[in-house]
Structure 1
Amino acid sequence: MLFAVAGLLALVGILNDPLHTGRLLLVAACDLTLAVAGLLGPWRRLGRYAPGFLGLAGFAVLGLSTWSFGGVAAGTGPFLVLLYAWAALHFPRWILSLFALPATLAYLVPLIMTGQPPLVLGSAAVLMPIALAVAFLIEAQARHLRDERERLSRIEQWRAAMINTLAHDVRAPLGTVRLVLEELEETATAPQTKMIGAALRQTSRIARLADGLLDVQRIDSTGHLKLDRAPHPAHLLVKDALSYVREDADVRAEVDENLVVYVDKQRFEQILMNLVTNALRYGRPPVIVRFTRDATGDRLEVRDHGPGIPDHLRPRLFGQFAVGGDQGVGLGLWIVRQLAVAHGGQAAAEARERGVAMVVTFPAPPGDQPQQ
């Protein structure tokens, strides 16, 4: 792009200096040739520092340009600095230092050839150190950003490996625990059966949480989830999901028994459990679960009666790691939003006079008319 702009400016310069049309056409041709070479050259195969030869060629064309304008370096200086800035974004300092000699020659030789006074020649003593200093500053910042990007890439690889390992390795011991609990259930007394049943439900939930971790990784890597959607009675979905909530929790469900929703049952359970768990952890009872339908589709609302959420936090509440703290890492609501989007809906936080309502919308089942 830099060479293309230089070539176009050389063509525009013909309008101001028609006496040097031939020279300016030569400069434009050289710049545009370098632009095409920069765009189409097989630089990846030639090596990391191979594009540096474009810089050397660029300095030569700058010198030709100065000579073409009769020793006027008003355009050469800025483009020389820009060439150095481009080099600083891609090459280490030793290459920038090697550029100092050809850059200085490209600036001085045409001035000497056109008989410029010593004062003009002396401008190189100011321009070249400035160009080199600017390049070093840019190179340092670019190197810092590259190092930071590599560090974040390593962290991301470690995180992905940790999630996969945790999610996969937790399944084997869970399977063993489940088998033991099922055998104990066959010979247990009534009170024991109740406790074992609760343990089995929580074991199943941990297995689904492991699947959820894999979902996080899958969303990050592919950007989407595969859903198994089907019509389900809404009140049974909510009842089954809330069976995993501790018995002493003040959670109340208000769901029309005639409402049928079109969702992935397992993913819906993840959504509801994440919202209810958050409401119990950060809000105050009672927690109200409502599932309704209007003209826009189905609407799941989980409301608590706690202190609420500040206005400045609500827009980013469903972001990844947005509001993690001592009690969590900030993934629960992000997963809720991803699952809602996968269903074709949305997730949002709405303020209430007391507390906050987490709202997830779903499209109505195909062919269904909205309930009035």
Structure 2
Amino acid sequence: MAGALALLGILNDPGQSAKLLLVAVCDGVVSLFAFLFPWHRTGRNAAAWLGLPAFAVLGLSTWSFGGVATGTGPFLVLLYAWAGLHFPRWILLAYLVPATLAYLVPLIVTDQPESILGSAFVLMPIALAVAMLIEAHARHLRDDRERLARIEQWRSAMMNTLAHDVRSPLSAIQIVLDELREDATGVPARMLDMARRQTARINRLADALLDVQRIDSTGHLKLDRQLYPARELVTDALSYIRVDPPIEVEIDAGTTIWVDKQRFEQVLLNLVSNAHRYGSAPIVVRLARDGDVDRLEVRDHGPGIPDSLRENLFGQFAVGGAEGVGLGLFIVRQLAEAHAGRAVAEARDPGVAMVVTFPVTPDFSG
């Protein structure tokens, strides 16, 4: 900035072009060195050494213009503000000596009066105070960021551990239930079927937790997309849950959809579970083509959702409480975006419709 302003100053005062060019070149050299030097290989505070040549250039500028410090003061404060953003307070205090010399020495050499020299006793405390305030605020922000990073690390480890610890015993339970179901009839068979469905539901919850962890760490999920008969895919997924009255499915025969089957089932079951928990019957599942996307719509006939809440409904932990932790709709949105689609909540009268879009396969022409 100082170098650019010096070059612009040549246009305003051509008679001082040689001095302004000298200042601009010195600023440019310092800036170029700061840009090219591999600071990542040095210590955390190594860049503080840049303050010394910067102060020197400020002193050169004041001396070149016969002791006129009009431009030195603001840039000296700016240098201190930069230091406050990046370095601890002991470096700010250490800067007092070179900063004061850079300001006073050119004034002394050019025989400036005592009133001008005395301005240092006002400028330097102000520059230091500004830098101290910035340093304190920046330090608090860094501490908060480190604390949030530790919390996030703990949360990720907890979710990862929980998901894996849940899956291990579930596998054994699933095997036992399958063995018992082979010979069961009547009421025991229906009870075992219910237990198997709930076991599968817990398994999907563990998968969902792992999905959240993968999304947070990599930002994307790897999908295995294929073309499926939509009605068959939906009815198979809904067989995992039982609600009363039954869920209504409105999908034309012959409709196909290009999705990752496992992820699609997660989306559908999360939406249906959400509608059953917070809405009212009947719950209707529709899937139809709309231009270049397939629209999956899960509608309930409950009281609906306020407009202000609908905008943030698919955020992480946006909704939750005694009946859930608010991850279901967040996972729906992430899985929709992994398919290059989107998830939205649309108002209905009565109720609300959760709509997820899935792009039509590029080579599909039906």
Give the TM-score normalised by structure 1: 0.93
Q: Does 1:162 align with 2:158?
A: yes
| 1:212-262 CA distance string (max 9 Å, x none) | 211111112222211122222222222122222234355222222322222
Post-superposition offset of 1:345: 1.7
In structure 1, distance between residues paired with 2:258 and 2:54: 63
Q: Does 1:99 align with 2:95?
A: yes
Larger mean Cα displacement after TM superposition, 71-80 or 295-304: 295-304
Partner of 2:22: 26
How far the C-alpha of 1:68 sits from its partner, in A, is 0.9
Determine if contact 2:285/2:297 at 8 Å carries over to the other structure.
yes
Letter of the structure 1 residue corresponding to residue 279 of structure 2: G
Amino acid at match of 2:77: V
Identity value in percent: 68
Counterpart amino acid of residue 171 in structure 2? G
CA distance in 2, matches of 1:289, 1:103: 71
Query: Residues 324 and 100 of structure 1: is their aligned pair in 2 closer, same or farther, counting only changes over 3 Å?
Result: farther
After TM superposition, list the pairs within 5 Å mapping 1:306-317 onto structure 2: 306-317=302-313
Aligned residues: 366
Partner of 2:202: 206
Aligned ranges 1:275-290 → 2 under 5 Å: 275-290=271-286
User: What is residue 252 of structure 1 aligned with on the other side?
Assistant: 248
Q: CA deviation at 1:368?
A: 4.0
SS at match of 2:241: coil
1:186: which partner in 2?
Answer: 182
Q: Secondary structure at the match of 1:231?
A: strand
Map of 1:8 onto structure 2: 4
Unaligned runs of 5+ in 1: none
What is the SS of the residue equivalent to 1:316? coil
SS of residue matched to 1:51: helix
Secondary structure of the structure 2 residue equivalent to 1:13: helix
What does residue 57 of structure 1 align with?
53
Residue 116, structure 1, aligned to residue 112, structure 2: yes
Which of 124, 142, 160 lines up with 1:128 in the alignment? Answer: 124
CA distance in 2, matches of 1:181, 1:113: 93
Matched position secondary structure for 1:320: coil
The DSSP-based 3-state class of the residue aligned with 2:67 is coil
Q: Report the CA distance between 1:203 and its aligned residue.
A: 1.5
Instruction: Please name the residue that 1:302 is paired with.
Output: 298
Q: CA deviation at 1:366?
A: 4.8
Letter matched to residue 191 of structure 2: M
Q: CA deviation at 1:271?
A: 0.5
Q: In the alignment, residue 216 of structure 2 is paired with which amino acid?
A: D
AA matched with 1:101: V
Secondary structure at the residue paired with 2:95?
helix
Out of 162, 172, 179, the residue aligned to residue 176 of structure 1 is 172
From 71, 80, 83, the equivalent of 1:84 is 80
Alignment TM-score, normalising by the size of structure 2:
0.94
Q: Which residue identity lines up with residue 68 of structure 2 in the other structure? A: V
Aligned with 1:261 (options 257, 264, 282): 257
Instruction: Find runs of 4+ consecutive structure 1 residues off by over 6 angstroms.
Output: none
Q: Residues 200 and 145 from structure 1, CA distance in 2 versus in 1: closer, same or farther, beyond 3 angstroms? A: same
Report Cα offsets for 1:312-342 as digits up to 9, x if no partner.
Answer: 2222222222233343232211211111122
Tell me how far 1:17 sits from its aligned partner: 4.1
- Deviation by residue 1:157-196 (Cα, 9 ceiling, x = unmatched): 1122112211212121011111111222233232111111
For the residues of structure 1 that align with 2:202 and 2:256, how far apart are their CA atoms?
27
Worse-matched range after superposition: 274-283 or 21-30: 21-30
With over 3 angstroms needed to count, the CA separation of the structure-2 counterparts of 1:101 and 1:367, relative to structure 1, is closer
Equivalent residue for 2:138, pick from 133, 142, 145:
142
Distance 1:138 1:242, change over 3 A: same
The answer to whether the 8 A contact 2:197-2:241 is kept is no
Question: 1:308 is aligned with what amino acid?
Answer: G
Whole-Å separation in 2 of the counterparts to 1:252 and 1:12: 73
The reply to whether residue 342 of structure 1 matches residue 343 of structure 2 is no
Letter in 2 for 1:78: P
